Structure 1
């Protein structure tokens, strides 16, 4: 794997960018070292997986059970962050043991450290938002409330957009292995859902709704992850159990059409009739309007000067 190219944000952030928290989140939580998707179909699968994963991580029951509560939402986010902090390194460690049989792990060090840094950065943002909300709610000064409220709204947009990005790229683990984000999203969604089923905590939704809402998201995430990994295997030869260094080279970007190319195939020269009368046809009859062509054959029926 290549080392990180350029800066973390790829030089996309400016001073004015910080007025738009979603732009900052895009640059911070989808850094320049994350490889682009191989084709649009995988992008669509990832977007669907992000939606289903959000249902599993946040919980639809948060809205259905007594209305929307920011405090409960933050508590769920903190719990999910703790799960990610524990589960992601364990899952990646298991896969490293698998890949170690067919390749070395030293070349994976840089993308692994980058992914770990992105994970810690997101968890730190969630913790900072939770502390900011608690501090603002516990303060009675009007100026502090106004300043804290503005900062809280900025952080809320920043974290929400960041959660969307890191769920899609799963903390940049695609730079380690293309199939790793699908695996991690599947394992995480089931780990979030299974304890509620085991303990019988259906959050007041009843047996039917509880099972549907709790199991619906991980089942959907698993199905989409299987489609995603299956497509990577069929079209690009990328297998989850194979070391990343052993994957075949992925196709590069399609070259752009040359400027001024005619309509049709851009690499075929313009075609015409090579036997039409004119200077370009060596077999065309000579006349006064036709320029002299030294390649014109001698005509014995019309001798020179006749």
Structure 2
């Protein structure tokens, strides 16, 4: 069950105070200059007894008693507001002796406000619950995509390793060490939603060591990064599938890949460019929505689409170009 946070609670009290003060001001204006002090006193009492006290007691009671269903919560809410209005009636009679409110008058005055505030409260709590559920679903989908990506990465790396076990045991040993480093980083970040760009590039470099042993001088990767961008946060294993996609679809040697990372206030811009044949027209038209792509690229595009304030643009510019922009935190 969702409840109001402390900040939401105080905003609600402030809003109700403003509403009550506005009513008091109108009452004072209609009375002219007569009874200004009495009107201000009555207004202050109204804020306290008509709104703040009933609402606070009602919220505390629902939370303490763990009442979630309207059938159980609404009577408590109505009772709290009735008691508050009843106290207000007694206080008002001391300020204006001619005003005497009976229990029936108080009941009919409190009923609309009690029902109205309860309906607004439940509507907002329902909205918060839906937002929380949507966030949990999004996080679950992101975790699923991350878990899909890891076996794919491991499978491809083991294929590379197996090719050198007999042919070149020394290279195979070096590959094993680099692969172990990458997997260790993978385990370290498994429960992390984001990591720093510096950390991401370190993992990428370990993976590139594996590919460099396999391809030698046929692979040339250039990484240009703003120093300020190194502490920016991004999802783990975001760059590796993009570089792997460039290597996989290369049609000429050497394979040239340029990675550029720039920071601009709270945004991180990443470009991955290669000298390959570029993206198929169908993929460019759909921008990865529904078109057939490799597992790594498809998963990465899905992960980016699930992130708020993230964009990814596929284009061809003397090869394939992937341009990513993320709104991100940084240290």
TM bucket (normalised to shorter chain) is: under 0.3
Q: Whose helix fraction is larger, Structure 1's or Structure 2's? A: 2
Higher relative contact order by CA 8 Å / sep ≥ 6: 1 or 2? 1
Q: Whose strand fraction is larger, Structure 1's or Structure 2's? A: 2
**TM-score by structure 1 length?**
0.26
